[in-house]
């Protein structure tokens, strides 16, 4: 068994967080070659997570950096393929829905290698979203599909995928549970004067549909600016660039407490202490739910439908008036159902991979 090897592909911020609980357990049972595509590369978007979470240094950093979707994915395909040629892994493991995910899955398909996909079976129903293309194509290439909920099983079945599907729960729940106690308070992160618990709203924005359309971005800034509480906004570099490009930077920094992206421990601390969060992130919607923080989602649809149905997440799109009113809602939140597993998702993922590879090892 110890000879079997898994080539794990990460590249973007949320993937470092998803990989850390899985990687730790995987390495107890078989060998892992960790490949960082280099999709994210700033210290605060990449290295900080490896340092804080004690993730082993990647065996390869492919340094692809930023480019348009086709070029970025093409560079990843070429370089991942070279690593596969050198390492001859038994399987490729991918996470989520980024270009790094799709590139790993496609290389595996072209090399006739099995693919394992963590966070399979999620759909927004919006084909204009680059991530939706990545999700559908990655699932089509996958042999092992690790899904967070029963709904995802149905989604895959509707697309004709029924083999190799396992409900594992959400590895991000495992991740957040393991760090929550170490997360500092908001006042420690933001320094003097800082904010106390429930004194601020946390906001993150980076979705292409929001950053690349100046009218939507202006409307999001206007909506957030109308918050009755101060808004702390750790800004993705994409959003900082877009605000500057669309001449909205002054407006945003005057109205919001704009800070650099923060590491995972700080982010969990900020989210835990926030009165509510406004976000277009996928991962943050779930993390808000796990930490009992009300969520306002700056999109028209979500892959994490269960959080909306549970009454903990409201979809408001980029409409300034809708954002304003969602930031003011004071109705009681309903009792929280248990969604996306009980914190042992990584264990299930690794068990499935080990039993799949055992006959071949």
- Minimal distance in Å, beta carbon 42 to ligand UD1? 4
Stretch that binds ligand UD1, among 96-104, 116-124, 187-195, 350-358 (CB under 6 A): 96-104
User: Using CB under 6 A, which of 99, 124, 155, 227 touches ligand UD1?
Assistant: 99
Residue in the structure block whose two tokens are 């599907």: 165
- Minimal distance in Å, beta carbon 204 to ligand UDP? 5
**Set 40, 206, 236, 246: catalytic member:** 206
The reply on whether position 17 binds ligand UDP by CB under 6 A is yes
The reply on whether position 206 binds ligand UD1 by CB under 6 A is yes
DSSP state of 353: H
Binding at 241: pick from ligand UD1, ligand UDP, none (beta carbon under 5-8 Å per type): ligand UD1
Exposed/middle/buried for 27, CB within 10 Å: 0-12, 13-18, 19+?
Answer: middle
Taking a C-beta distance cutoff of 8 angstroms, is the pair 336, 310 a contact? Answer: yes
Residue 344 vs residues 156, 169, 177, 248, 341: alpha-carbon distances, Å: 22, 7, 10, 43, 7
The reply on whether position 292 binds ligand UD1 by CB under 6 A is no
Stretch that binds ligand UDP, among 55-63, 132-140, 149-157, 258-266 (CB under 6 A): 258-266
CA gap 7, 104 in Å, rounded:
9
- Minimal distance in Å, beta carbon 265 to ligand UD1? 17
The reply on whether position 148 binds ligand UDP by CB under 6 A is no
**Could you give the angle at the alpha carbon of 36 between the alpha carbons of 33 and 41, nearest 5°?**
160
HSE value, Cβ hemisphere, 13 Å, CA-based, for 7 = 29
The residue count for binding ligand UDP (CB under 6 A) is 16
Exposed/middle/buried for 5, CB within 10 Å: 0-12, 13-18, 19+?
Answer: middle
Nearer to ligand UD1 by C-beta: 149 or 239?
A: 239
User: Using CB under 6 A, which of 101, 168, 204, 297 touches ligand UDP?
Assistant: 204
Binding residues (CB under 6 A) for ligand UDP: these are 13-14, 17, 204, 206, 234, 261-264, 267, 281-284, 287
């Amino acid at each position: 068994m110890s000879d079997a090897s898994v080539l794990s592909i990460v590249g973007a911020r949320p993937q470092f967080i998803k990989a850390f609980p899985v990687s730790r357990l995987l390495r107890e049972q078989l060998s892992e070659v960790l490949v960082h595509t280099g999709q994210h590369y700033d210290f605060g978007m990449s290295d900080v997570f490896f340092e804080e979470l004690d993730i082993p240094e990647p065996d390869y950093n492919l340094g692809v950096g930023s480019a348009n979707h086709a070029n970025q994915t093409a560079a990843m395909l070429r370089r991942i393929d070279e690593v596969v040629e050198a390492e001859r892994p038994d399987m490729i493991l991918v996470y989520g829905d980024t270009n790094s995910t799709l590139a790993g899955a496609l290389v595996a398909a072209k090399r006739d290698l099995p693919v394992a996909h963590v966070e399979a079976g999620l759909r927004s129903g919006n084909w204009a979203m680059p991530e939706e293309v990545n999700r559908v194509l990655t699932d089509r290439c996958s042999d092992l599909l690790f899904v967070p909920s029963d709904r995802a099983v149905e989604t895959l079945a509707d697309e004709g995928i029924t083999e190799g599907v396992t409900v594992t729960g959400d590895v991000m729940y495992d991740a957040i549970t393991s760090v929550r106690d170490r997360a500092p308070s908001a006042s420690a992160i933001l320094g003097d004067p800082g904010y106390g618990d429930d004194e601020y709203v946390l906001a993150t924005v980076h979705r292409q549909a929001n950053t690349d359309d100046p009218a939507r971005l202006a409307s999001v800034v206007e909506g957030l600016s109308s918050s009755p509480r101060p808004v702390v906004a750790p800004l993705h570099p994409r959003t900082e660039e877009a605000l500057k490009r669309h001449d909205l930077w002054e407006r945003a920094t005057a109205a919001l407490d704009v800070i650099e992206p923060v590491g995972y421990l700080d982010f969990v601390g900020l989210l835990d202490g926030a009165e509510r969060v406004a976000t277009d992130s996928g991962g943050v919607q779930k993390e808000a739910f796990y930490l009992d923080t009300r969520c306002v989602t700056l999109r028209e649809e979500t892959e994490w439908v269960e959080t909306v149905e549970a009454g903990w997440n409201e979809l408001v799109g980029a409409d300034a008036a809708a954002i304003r009113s969602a930031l003011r809602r004071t109705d009681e939140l309903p009792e929280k159902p248990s969604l996306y597993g009980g914190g042992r998702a990584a264990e299930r993922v690794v068990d499935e991979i080990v039993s799949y590879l055992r006959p071949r090892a």
